[in-house]
Chain A
Amino acid sequence: MSIWDKLFGGSNNRSSKQIAHDRLKVVLIHDRANVSPEVMNHIKNDIIEVISHYMDIDKNAMEIALENDADSVALVANIPVNNMRHDAGRRR
């Protein structure tokens, strides 16, 4: 910090407060993403229910998982489709 920053209490660079804030946000996304297997199962069943309105899917081969990379978390689903439903377009 320059003497000027010290006197007036400011700095143009990203403050360590801001850095702490940003690091925390990312860490907590990862921590919170450690969802229990039961919750993952609920999510899976809910997805099956919704998708089944439109498509005939292979429930047993379906996989869902949370995938982390450096600064984000994604819910990734792999859902094999056996058949489209004829009436899919008529819902809603």
Chain B
Amino acid sequence: MSEVIVITSGKGGVGKSTTTASLGVGLAMRGKKVALIDTDTGLRNLDILLGLERRIVYTLVDVAQKRVNYGQALVRHKKYSNLFLLPTSQVADKTAIEPEQMKQLVDTMRHEFDFILIDCPAGIEQGFQTAVIGADWAVVVTIPEVSAVRDADKIIGRLQAVNKDIKLIVNRIDPQMVKAGTMLDMTSIDDILSLPCIGQIPDDREVINASNQGIPIIEWNNTAAGRAYDDVVGRICGEDIPFKPFETEGFFARLKHVFGH
């Protein structure tokens, strides 16, 4: 059985592409055959995050417009041979692909892959329609800020209108701020959006360090964000993984903060 999941958010820059790359690698590490489709035409990023930017020959636009088969456009990951990227064009714009073309493509690719993850562009225009149409269910990524949660709610309305199941990932949580009561936590976001949550990803500087090198953070299992993404992958595979409390600094570190500045 194949599963097609769209990773979306409404608001830009909250971590859709970062999440898509890590979930893709995580599923591949568990032996699944995975395709990642970048639908952010004109602003492609997934190739960079996976370290595959120099291997692109054809793109999603070529495939959707039937110039080549999807197999010719797929780029195999260097380390995980069962992970593939279908990159999009950096020059075309979102109108180059019709939602119906995308649906057909996804339905063809289903036969070959265990998981297809679709990285959605920000916004609610045609790019969103195209990304969403072929998906079985959706991951909505948000961050603990009023504006991002509000945009997530808008996207959730759109997704529910087309009967997609939705699961939530809250990204960039700062455990110390949550503890101090200066940031929304997963429970309060859950309460507002009333959706099942499959991930709580801490804000982690190593995410940028890893992406500089074209490595999805999940490959670094000694990082807080990497481990949190690994838990998400387990949950997607149906494992019952409890949410662990974040490690926050102890009393003495807080003492240092107070007297340090």
When A and B form their complex, what is the total count of cross-chain residue pairs whose Cβ atoms lie within 8 Å?
55
Cα-based distance from A20 to B188 in the complex (angstroms): 10
Cα-based distance from A11 to B181 in the complex (angstroms): 9
A23 within 8 A of B: yes
Whether B182 lies near A32 (C-beta < 8 A) is no
Whether B146 lies near A7 (C-beta < 8 A) is no
Whether B258 lies near A21 (C-beta < 8 A) is no
Question: What 0/1 pattern do residues 154 to 193 of B give for CB contact below 8 A with A?
Answer: 1001000000000000000000001111111100100110
Contacts of A28 in B (CB 8 A): 150, 153, 192
Contacts of B145 in A (CB 8 A): 20
B205 within 8 A of A: no
Assuming A3-B258, A24-B149, A27-B150, is B157 touching A17 (CB within 8 A)?
no
Interface magnitude class on chain A: 10 to 19
Looking at chain B's contact residues, the main secondary structure is: helix
Cα-based distance from A7 to B251 in the complex (angstroms): 7
A38 CB → nearest B CB, Å: 11
Contacts of B191 in A (CB 8 A): 21
Whether B185 lies near A20 (C-beta < 8 A) is no
Whether B184 lies near A21 (C-beta < 8 A) is yes
A16 within 8 A of B: yes
Cross-chain contact of A21 among B153, B178, B188, B255 (Cβ < 8 A) = B188
Question: What 0/1 pattern do residues 70 to 86 of B give for CB contact below 8 A with A?
Answer: 00000000000000000
Residues on B facing A (Cβ under 8 Å): 144-146, 149-150, 153-154, 157, 178-185, 188, 191-192, 251, 254-255, 257-258
